[in-house]
Structure 1
Amino acid sequence: MDILYASLSSLFVVVVSCLVRFAFFQSKSDVNVKLPPGGRGWPVIGETIEFVTAGWKGHPEKFIVDRMTKFSRHVFRTSLMLEDAAVFCGPEGNKFLFSNENNLVKYWLPATVTKILPSTYLNVEKVKMIRYHFKPEVLRQYVSVMDMVVQKHFETGWEGKVQILAHKLTKNFTFQVACKIFFSIDEPEWVNNLSVPFERLAPGLFSIPINLPGTPLRRAINAGKFIRKELTTLVKQRKIDLADGKASPTQDILSLVLCDEYGKFMAESEVADLIMGLMIGGYDSTSSTCTFIVNYLAELPEIYEEVYKEQMEITKSKASTELLNWEDVSKMKYSWNVACEVLRLVPPTQGTFREAISDFTYNGYSIPKGWKLYWSTNSTHKNPEFFHEPQKFDPTRFNNNVPAPYTYVPFGGGSHLCPGKEFARIEILVFMHHLVRKFKLKKVIPNEQIVFDLIQPKLAKGLPIHICPHKP
């Protein structure tokens, strides 16, 4: 019912906003230039509804593939999200957009994002700082911390249960990890107090910009204000604790940012928005991937058995109370192949937008300044030209053969390659280790529908799972 309500609400605001736009704007495209082939869809509405509903029906690749077949396998024109747009397809399109960041194109986010997170702009120095503090050599110190959080999560949320709702629990888990790694906080009351408003952020980020009571945008703006206030208080106190020697400069992400040469000059509210943005990315995308890992392990017993064997070898090599470390995670090669295959079939984001900084030509077609440019995982991830039998779940495709460049892009690419990629890898593998070591899994709804929206993929009923602990 929640998904149906959200879908109908999204459809309504799309139509209303398109009508508003039509009343005030007209296409700025020059009719004399050679634009990419394609169509703008319905008058006013464009093709946004087809784009969104393809995901609701569980086949987001259909929108892309149909137009690649009809118009061009390289680039086609459309109208999405109230904007003239060109969809860049295939590895060549991905390479072009990722390689021309801040040259011909720039990252584009809808106005709703800046309304919720006013300090979300990313300059060169801020991007460098984020990447530096998410390097593997920095993150390795957090493996044991994640292990403790994961064990506590399974003890309190899974053990003693016959059936669980995987989607809800994985969201709880990734939020708990984020609070511990970012702020060194694991008090249940504080975590729960912040998790509810965080749930309201993502639906507003990519909603239609109608800021009225009851709309996703208004709820997200109010949630953002509450979270910003809480985090700003935390930032102020951490600065005091660092100055007094009560906090360590390396104890968590917040300390690392505040002690960074660039971070020292950031306003407290800007630090709060930065941390909030990073948490949104890691919290939603990683929980989605963990949910679908549970889904496929429960669905494919032969895959589960291989993961179980690998993880039990690691368990046998350690004392019963010994925590996982970086070397243990490095041994989880098959498990990571499984995660990679999940990320190929169900990437946490279907693609993102860029904006043309100036007029340029691509593949013989003119791209006007200001057009929005969309790249999609679906033009390569499920393309048999790059992945044999693309609908088949086959982790062995990642054994020795590295996918061709720009064909496997679950984390994006270029200067906006997800900075939390390594963070997510560690978190996912530690989660998988304890999941299979503790439980056998069986799906309650064998053919539960996968629903894709602009935020993240979901299972229609939240993925109820029968769990059975392994016998001693």
Structure 2
Amino acid sequence: MKHRIADSTKRDMEVLMLVSLIVGPMLLVLALLLQQMQRSSSGRKSRIPKGNNWTLPFFGETFNFLKDPHNFHLKHIARFGETFYASLFGENCIVVTTPEASKWVLQTAQQSFRPGYPRSATTIVDPTETIYQPKFHARMRKIVGSTLNPDALQHYVKYIDSVARISLTNWESNRIVNLYDEMKKYTFYVALKIICSLDPGSELEEMALNMEKVKDGFFSLHIDLPWTRYHSALKARDALYKSFKKIIDRRRKESRRYNDILEDLMFSDEPGQKFTDAQLQALVLSLLFAGYETTSAQLVWTMKRLHENPDILESVKAEHDAIRKGKLREDSLNWEDIKEMKLTLRVIYETMRTSHLDVFIPREPLQDLEYDGFLFPKGWKIHASISAFHLNPKIFPDPYKFDPSRFEDGGPPPNTYMPFGNGNRRCLGSEVAKTQMLISIHHILSNYRWEAVGPDRGIQWWAVAIPKGGYPIKVQPR
């Protein structure tokens, strides 16, 4: 009897294996055919750009893209042209890689697009699903822009200077520091001060840890299970929201003024247009994410580029030594000092051009659109790759050479250089970011020498492109 049951079970297993061997490939072929039908069904007046005909179901080409986005773009451009189709993050995408097409997506036709970030990113930052809506976004920009314009920014120079000094106090002689970790703390503290007037301390350290988890889940699969990065990011987001809610509640009970972004958002004077607490929390988180991650990455790249180009490094040091001349060691920088950092600013511009900033800026068409003979179907994702033309030899000769002189005498031609994006969603914090970078570079170069520890290990791409390992350096006082 036991043998008959065992034999029956064995036969059932064999049948299941046979069925899976037959049905599995059939389902795969069906998925691929459906993918092709979805692409070809949009064949109206114009055509969909060329791309790989066969890709993995659901995942598409995502793994190759995440492994090395720049190389992914170069291979596709060489094979399919400067506008091409790709299946990324489980969706149909069209990637544009020229200044003209990027300007069209981000500026000329901007009213016909909305942000097209992966579902994981939008749900983590904004469970209210309102802050990326055009009218809401325009209102937010109007309020925040008044706080971050160059005139208003002058009042933050002294504070940013003090945070930069605090960030460097533990750089002891011959100490090895991870520059990316150090710069993240610095830019995070500055961002929280400008957004909601928080000073460095244990509360900010806890927020920084939760922000890292949010960042790690930003480009993850949209799967809310306990072991996923997405789930961990949601829990970290909730912890940050709880901290933000405490700050908001405290503000409502106080009579003092803070003159920061949160106060402007809470008490905007448009009648009947008050932000809800959930919207305020989402806005603070989105501004915080935008305000520290890319800036810290660019600081790391700048220091790496200077170390690799000693002649430029010595010229930049001389610029900062001249600024420090006549100042006491404890004297803070001022706005006039910032304006004297002309060479350093060109170094920053060239760093942003060469550091794969904004590998893609995703948008989604609100209706079928046509451009340059191509169809951009409603609901697809459109990726504008800024770094693709920043490193295009037709636009920037010898593009991988680090040459800050490219930004002398007016710099590159219009719309060929867009490190902060373009159009009505251009980065609001561009002036803050540049000011933070100038001040931090000033204090590092004025007080330290450094050398890289270990070999160059390439690039770590997500959530922003940084030297793999975060660029550990050995520092010594000058």
Please tell me whether the aligned partners of residues 289 and 347 of structure 1 are also in contact (alpha carbons under 8 angstroms): no
Please tell me whether the aligned partners of residues 40 and 79 of structure 1 are also in contact (alpha carbons under 8 angstroms): no
**Match for residue 188 of structure 1?**
201
**2:472 partner amino acid:** P
Please tell me whether the aligned partners of residues 174 and 283 of structure 1 are also in contact (alpha carbons under 8 angstroms): yes
Please tell me whether the aligned partners of residues 453 and 472 of structure 2 are also in contact (alpha carbons under 8 angstroms): yes
Match of 1:218 among 225, 231, 254: 231
Give per-residue Cα distances to partners, 1:22-72, cap 9 Å, x unaligned: 59985544264322222244141422222122x2xxxx3222222222222
Match of 1:386 among 395, 406, 420: 395
- The residue correspondences of 1:340-379 to structure 2 (distance < 5 A) are 340-379=349-388
Give per-residue Cα distances to partners, 1:235-281, cap 9 Å, x unaligned: 1212322xx2x234x2x322233333259711123212111111111
In 2, Cα distance between equivalents of 1:83 and 1:365: 18
**Match for residue 114 of structure 1?**
122
Distance 1:440 1:258, change over 3 A: same
- The residue correspondences of 1:67-146 to structure 2 (distance < 5 A) are 67-73=76-82, 75-117=83-125, 118-119=127-128, 120-122=131-133, 123=136, 124-146=138-160
**Match for residue 229 of structure 1?**
242
Moved more, 325-334 or 426-435: 325-334
Q: What's the offset of the Cα at 1:111?
A: 1.7
Q: What's the offset of the Cα at 1:349?
A: 2.7
Please tell me whether the aligned partners of residues 347 and 410 of structure 1 are also in contact (alpha carbons under 8 angstroms): no
What is the DSSP-based 3-state SS (H/G/I as helix, E as strand, rest coil) of the residue aligned with 2:48? coil
2:162 matches 1:148: yes
**Match for residue 256 of structure 1?**
264
Aligned residues: 438
Q: What's the offset of the Cα at 1:159?
A: 3.3
Moved more, 261-270 or 434-443: 261-270
Distance 1:362 1:101, change over 3 A: closer
Please tell me whether the aligned partners of residues 55 and 87 of structure 2 are also in contact (alpha carbons under 8 angstroms): no
**Match for residue 408 of structure 2?**
399
In 2, Cα distance between equivalents of 1:141 and 1:25: 57
In 2, Cα distance between equivalents of 1:271 and 1:24: 45
In 2, Cα distance between equivalents of 1:23 and 1:269: 41
What is the DSSP-based 3-state SS (H/G/I as helix, E as strand, rest coil) of the residue aligned with 1:429? helix
Please tell me whether the aligned partners of residues 196 and 262 of structure 2 are also in contact (alpha carbons under 8 angstroms): yes
Distance 1:201 1:184, change over 3 A: same
Give per-residue Cα distances to partners, 1:134-189, cap 9 Å, x unaligned: 1111111101110011111111x313452211111111111122222222222421
What is the DSSP-based 3-state SS (H/G/I as helix, E as strand, rest coil) of the residue aligned with 2:111? coil
Match of 1:247 among 253, 257, 262: 257
Q: What's the offset of the Cα at 1:443?
A: 0.9
**Match for residue 296 of structure 1?**
305
In 2, Cα distance between equivalents of 1:104 and 1:314: 47
In 2, Cα distance between equivalents of 1:266 and 1:462: 38
Q: Give identity over the alignment, percent.
A: 29
In 1, Cα distance between equivalents of 2:109 and 2:454: 43
What is the DSSP-based 3-state SS (H/G/I as helix, E as strand, rest coil) of the residue aligned with 1:265? coil
In 1, Cα distance between equivalents of 2:475 and 2:297: 19
**Match for residue 279 of structure 2?**
270
In 1, Cα distance between equivalents of 2:472 and 2:56: 42
Give per-residue Cα distances to partners, 1:303-331, cap 9 Å, x unaligned: 21111111111111434432111111111
Moved more, 364-373 or 23-32: 23-32
Distance 1:141 1:314, change over 3 A: same
Distance 1:347 1:327, change over 3 A: farther
2:167 matches 1:159: no
Q: Where does the alignment leave 5 or more consecutive residues of structure 1 unmatched?
A: 1-18
**Match for residue 316 of structure 1?**
325
What is the DSSP-based 3-state SS (H/G/I as helix, E as strand, rest coil) of the residue aligned with 2:451? strand
Aligned-CA RMSD value:
2.2
Moved more, 391-400 or 262-271: 262-271
TM-score w.r.t. the length of structure 2 is 0.86
**Match for residue 457 of structure 1?**
465
**1:165 partner amino acid:** N
What is the DSSP-based 3-state SS (H/G/I as helix, E as strand, rest coil) of the residue aligned with 1:137? helix
Moved more, 372-381 or 34-43: 34-43
What is the DSSP-based 3-state SS (H/G/I as helix, E as strand, rest coil) of the residue aligned with 1:374? strand
Moved more, 61-70 or 196-205: 61-70
TM-score w.r.t. the length of structure 1 is 0.87
Give per-residue Cα distances to partners, 1:278-303, cap 9 Å, x unaligned: 11111111111111122222222212
**1:227 partner amino acid:** L
**1:343 partner amino acid:** M
**1:182 partner amino acid:** I
Distance 1:441 1:261, change over 3 A: same
**Match for residue 9 of structure 2?**
none
**2:216 partner amino acid:** P
What is the DSSP-based 3-state SS (H/G/I as helix, E as strand, rest coil) of the residue aligned with 2:85? strand
Please tell me whether the aligned partners of residues 288 and 348 of structure 1 are also in contact (alpha carbons under 8 angstroms): no
**Match for residue 62 of structure 2?**
48
In 2, Cα distance between equivalents of 1:197 and 1:372: 29
What is the DSSP-based 3-state SS (H/G/I as helix, E as strand, rest coil) of the residue aligned with 1:380? helix
In 2, Cα distance between equivalents of 1:277 and 1:24: 39
In 2, Cα distance between equivalents of 1:277 and 1:236: 20
Q: What's the offset of the Cα at 1:222?
A: 0.3
Please tell me whether the aligned partners of residues 189 and 200 of structure 2 are also in contact (alpha carbons under 8 angstroms): no
In 2, Cα distance between equivalents of 1:208 and 1:405: 37
**Match for residue 439 of structure 2?**
430
Distance 1:82 1:24, change over 3 A: farther
